[in-house]
Amino acid sequence: MMEAYIQAYNEAVFETDKNAALAVVNSALAAGISPENIVFQLIIPAVESMMARIEKDPDSNLAQHFMTAQIAADVTERMLAKFSSPPNIVGKVVIGAAYGDLHSLGKRIVMGCLKSLMVEVIDLGVNVTAENFVQEAIAHQAQVIAISAMMVHTATSELGSLKVRRLLQAQNLEDKIKIAVGGAPYRFDPTLYIKVGADAWAPDGVTAAKMIVNLINAVQA
Amino acid sequence: MTPLDILTAASMGNPAPRIPVFCNLLDQGAALLKLSPKAYFANGQYVAEAQLQLLQRYGHDNVWSLHYVGKEAELLGCQKILFADNGVPNVEDFVIKTLDDIPKFEVPDDITLHPAWQSIAECMAILRKEVGHTHPICAYLTASTTLPAILMGMDKWMELFLLGPFDLRDELIRKCSIFFQKHLVALKAAGANVLIYASPFGSPYFLSLPQIRKDILPWMIQDLQGVDRAGLVYYCGMAPFNAVIDLVFDELAISTHYISPLADLAEAKRLINTRGLMCGVIDDIKMIHWSTSQTRDEVKRIIDIGKPGGHFLFGTGVMPLSIPEENIRAMLAAAFEYGAWL
């Protein structure tokens, strides 16, 4: 039964039809499925299924990525309010747009997916300094610093992820905090993440969430 | 033949000594004149002078009207641009901060009277006088369905576009379409003869084909109502758009296509063939770290695909400032060499 809900939900998301996706969730609730099971047996598998679909389908589009995150985050927030006890979180990530960068769409997509995957997200906003990324990661005991950059100069700047790497090295934190990057320049040069000192990258916001969860798991292993 | 003649020959499929070679060196000008980007872009004479010097230095075929992302937003009331010493300027002040701003948002009656236009006018006057009769002068115009992203931020625009309220969405696009037409008329009057129609929301990378047909195409038709298609170039902000090439021919009657480096260029060539002009675009982000021989190899690959049968030009993306100069020279030398018609 849950498979049918997952399929119907994902079809609605793939068609960027939020109302249809919410109708699936409401049907599941009406059928007696608990908010906990909605999140863990419907939303999370649906997001993971969408990640797999997007990874295999290079023709998936930005609107689909946006709606995947938007709907999942919205539903998760509503369901969390109904949980009988707070859920266990998978890990923590601090996220922001690189220093000098004011773009926020990619970050928003990643955040939406991460929240639905039970990752605690600390949003540092846009135009974030390297020092702020590292300070906040330490303060929140985050396993990952996620840096979005939509412009070449903010991706490659000495004041961006390269400086975050230097700060982590200086404080001997490289095993405890990993760096994830994403944004348009990385799509054009898939090896760029190495040159800017990151541990991993993803070509879109939805698969970025999966990559970040993998980094969290690697730190916690 | 002048570069303008060579471009015309490529469009028509007529004989020419070589293919046109376009290179966008907007940001390199500030470094050339040893100015900060803010000071450089504030003065149209600087931008024109730098581009003329770069034309002399590199010998490519085109120049640009003064442009950076955000210039159109300034014409519509943006008060602050974030300039960087090492890259492109960025919109810092959004004209539309809340949905309540959309009904109040107004397009100036005459954009050429706006203070933000004056540096463009200065730049264009010089370029037109110096090279207007010999070289293509490019100008950038953002489509009405994409311009709101610059006015309110991409994530808020995507949310409004997909989730509504749709009456406000359509009101904003309608106003942006009015601006587009005024902008186009002003740039043509100033001397621009290659008009880049930037329509990322008209790319399947952004939206599905049914969404493009239903929600974008009618506005693109509106943008281009009464517009002479000569010199008009379809461009999706470096996003691939092979899947809409036929649509662009059939519904918009635009026959020049600026193909993303992420697209299948051979497929685009098959789709466009001799019914229009195709620009093969190098991935200039990779050029930051490539060797000169890697750069040459990629230019050859692109030209090998695009040149047979003609109707082809070579071009670049935004050419980041961090590309080593030897790679710019290697790219252009290879483009002239492999682009020659023997």
What pLDDT sits at residue A199? 98
Do the Cβ atoms of B90 and A64 come within 8 Å?
Answer: no
DSSP string, B188-257: HHHT--EEEEE-GGGSTTTS-HHHIIIIIHHHHHHHTTT---TTEEEE-TT---GGGHHHIIIII---EE
**What is the Cα–Cα distance from B191 to B143, expressed in whole angstroms?**
20
Using one digit for the tens of pLDDT, what is the confidence trace for A59-104?
Answer: 789 999 999 999 999 999 999 999 999 899 999 999 999 999 999 9
Residue of B nearest to A185 (CA): B285
Task: Please report the domains of chain A, with CATH numbers, ordered by start residue.
Answer: 2-80 (1.10.1240.10), 91-220 (3.40.50.280)
Residues B163, A18: C-beta atoms closer than 8 Å: yes
- Counting the structural domains of chain B, the total is 1
B159 touches chain A (CB under 8 A): yes
Confidence of residue A53 (pLDDT cuts 50, 70, 90): confident
Nearest CA in chain B to A19: B163
CA distance B268 to B296: 22
List the single residue in B90, B262, B320 with the smallest CB-CB distance to A187. B262
| CB nearest to A188's CB, from B84, B159, B286 | B286
Q: Mean pLDDT lowest for which of A44-48, B95-99, B316-320?
A: A44-48
Nearest neighbour of B285 by CB, restricted to A67, A154, A189: A189
Does residue A150 surpass a pLDDT of 90? Answer: yes
Mean predicted confidence (pLDDT) in B217-245: 97
Measured CA to CA, the distance from residue A64 to residue A14 in angstroms comes to 6
What is the overall mean pLDDT for chain A?
94
B196-226 pLDDT, tens per residue?
999 999 999 999 999 999 999 999 999 999 9
Q: Note down the domain range covering B181.
A: 3-338
Coil, strand or helix at A75: helix
Contact B233, B258 (CB under 8 A): yes
Q: Is the pLDDT of residue B342 over 80?
A: no
CB contact under 8 A, B322 and A59: no
B204 and A104 within 8 Å at the Cβ level: the answer is no
Instruction: Give the span between the Cα atoms of A20 and A8, in whole angstroms.
Output: 9
What does each C-alpha distance from A140 to A120, A123, A135, A137, A179 come to in angstroms? 10, 11, 9, 5, 15
The pTM of this model reads 0.94
Q: Which contiguous run of DSSP H or E holds residue A122?
A: strand A119-123
What is the CATH classification number for the domain harbouring B18? 3.20.20.210
Res B239 pLDDT > 80: yes
Task: Report the chain B residue with the minimal C-alpha distance to residue A105.
Answer: B155
- Residues in chain B with CB shorter than 8 Å from the CB of A64 are 208
Question: Of B278, B277, B258, whose CA–CA distance to B202 is shortest?
Answer: B258
Mutate to test the interface with B, among A62, A64, A148 (most CBs of B within 10 A): A62
Angle at B39 between CA B42 and CA B330, to 5 degrees: 100
Nearest neighbour of B207 by CB, restricted to A61, A104, A153: A61
The CA–CA distances, whole Å, from A60 to A56, A162, A203, B233 equal: 9, 31, 12, 25
More confident residue, B56 or A2: B56
